[in-house]
Amino acid sequence: MNKLLDYYKEQKYLAFGREDLETKKSKCLKMKNTPRSVAQPAPTLPPGFRGFDFTTYELSKRIRIGSHFNFLFFRFRLLNQIAKQNEHGKLEANLFSWLLMNKQRELPKWPELLLDKISYLPGHVIDQILSHLPIRDAVRTSVLSRKWRYKWATIPYLVFDNQCLNVSSQDQTLIKNKLVNIINHVLLLHNGPIHKFKLSYRDLLGSASIDRWILCISRSSIEELILEVWKGQPYKPPSCLFNCQNLTHLELFNCLLEPPLTFKGFKNLRSLDLQHITIVQSVFENLISSCPLLEKLTLMNFSGVTHLNIDAPNLQFFDIGGNFYDVSFQNTFYLALVSIGLYDNNNYEKTTGQSSSKLIKFFVNLPHIRRLEIQSYFLKYLAIGNVPSRLPNPCVDLSYLSIRIDFDDIEENTAALCLLKSCPNLQELEMSARPEEQISVERSNNFWEDDHWSSLFVHLRLVTVSGISGVKSEMDFLKFLLSNSPVLERLTLKPEHQEDECALMKELLRFRRASIYAEVIYSDS
């Protein structure tokens, strides 16, 4: 018990300063030895206090602490020490609940600290909460109390999109002026670093105001910048944008990129998303090669670049869709996810007449690709030149393959078959039919009937075929697939027209299946 009192003395000294402990102790001892009247019975101890000395109990019960938090903390620590000395090693379950009910009768009301828990959270936690609100609602928290008046002014993530305005007027000039005033007001009162700035308002045109905002945020440690100008001519960002060396994510929409001559790249950039961008060939190549940490690159609907030369040693994700003549990779050892689409089916004709295989050139620097999506007319590009029966270096890591194909085009079928043979560990396959409106290439109706296969799809489990209409070339491919997939689990069909369902399903029932577990699912979605 002496050790327990020493422990209490230490805790009490921290809570009360230099108040005399012996005075409190003597009062409690005196109260214990003084006979009580009938009207004032001795307090009843809870079951968890069996054999517990009443002096220590009365001491811990009667000495009041300034706040409920300190009271609970001190009492819990004290009782925890008591429990360690108990013969059972712990207090009974109802002890702590008894203490909670008991203290309600003897202590004052709960302080503001426990009533308003959100206001006393750490600053970075409050910033995270406010960052998930629209900027309009974040600013509105300033009316809650004095403490909240300027809490919104320190949030490091600023997002200005359609949610920051609630205007019923159709006057575009009024809407634009109100949005400009809001952004000016927020940036003027903001106090602290800005890590993310997003401007994506569909009715906002490129203007001098955007130049001022970019200049303002460039002076902060901006890490993520998203600028989407949806209307008007391509917006040309100011040169100060290219001084933001802390950028890790840059996303631009409908912009004209002309960096200054002193631009040496973004040394910390990891993600680059360019959509509807106008940029010349040399600037594009310099931009990619001067971002040594770039891991994710997205290019959509660009102009000014015809030959895509990708030199990025840390690139892992590449998504592109547009019109171009050629694409090549250098130092892309880690590139694992590729999605590529060629929108114009006439661009590939500009490179015809070559004997070298585009298919081999495309995969020569992709040794560890795991997921490949061939969209639009890009398979036509890969079919240029002499297509081998297999790639010299098989794609052993490729587990997912998606191909958009014209099943009546013998050149595309040849390129697709080469890919299928070169992916020994393929697990999931998606084939999307792309019927041509004009017959301008050699057609073949019995390509998949021939014996092309010397090995099986030993790992293929899931297959999805969409856009088919039930023509012979498509049905031959399905028959070939079912007969060479011993572990196939599910084949999902998505016909182009619902009226083809009955004839299609009847034909499929006739096909032999190498997998006894394979099921064919018809989906109209």
pLDDT at 97: 45
C-alpha dihedral sign at 10, 11, 16, 20: negative
pLDDT at 314: 96
pLDDT at 169: 66
Amino acid identity of residue 509, one-letter, is: L
pLDDT at 49: 43
CB 432 within 8 A of CB 402: yes
pLDDT at 103: 45
Paired tokens of 495:
């016909």
The pLDDT of 259-277, averaged and rounded, is 94
Q: Report how far apart the first and last C-alpha atoms of the chain are (Å, whole number).
A: 76
pLDDT band for position 507 (cuts 50, 70, 90): confident
Report the candidate in 411, 413, 419 with the shortest Cα–Cα distance to residue 394: 419
Stronger pLDDT, 430 or 515, i.e. the higher one: 430
Q: Which residues contact 22 (CB under 8 A, 6 or more apart)?
A: none
pLDDT tens digits for range 393-413: 999 999 999 999 999 899 999
DSSP string of 291-317, one letter each residue: -TT--EEEEES-BS--EEEEE-TT--E
Distance CA 523, CA 239 (A): 52
pLDDT at 342: 93
Q: Exposure string (b/e) for 425-455, b if CB count within 10 Å is 16 or more?
A: ebeebbbbbbeeeeeeeeebeebbeeebeee
β-sheet bridge partners, residue 337 = 317, 371
Stronger pLDDT, 490 or 16, i.e. the higher one: 490
pLDDT at 201: 82
Distance CA 476, CA 410 (A): 13
Q: Where do we find the tokens 């019975």?
A: 41
pLDDT at 111: 52
pLDDT tens digits for range 444-476: 567 777 665 555 789 999 999 998 888 888 888
Q: Does residue 55 have a pLDDT over 70?
A: no
CA angle 346, 352, 358 (to 5 degrees): 100
The pLDDT of 6-21, averaged and rounded, is 47
The pLDDT of 116-135, averaged and rounded, is 76
Q: Which of 48-57, 133-142, 176-185, 399-408 has the lowest mean pLDDT?
A: 48-57
Distance CA 515, CA 483 (A): 8
Distance CA 383, CA 362 (A): 11
pLDDT tens digits for range 90-122: 444 344 444 444 444 444 444 544 556 677 777
Report the candidate in 56, 45, 66, 58 with the shortest Cα–Cα distance to residue 5: 56
CB 199 within 8 A of CB 167: no
Give the count of alpha carbons within 13 A of 28, CB side only. 16
pLDDT tens digits for range 297-355: 999 999 999 999 999 999 999 999 999 999 999 999 999 999 999 998 776 544 445 56
pLDDT at 525: 64
Q: Which residues contact 225 (CB under 8 A, 6 or more apart)?
A: 196, 197, 198, 217, 241, 244, 247, 249, 250, 251
pLDDT at 503: 74
Paired tokens of 267:
């040394």
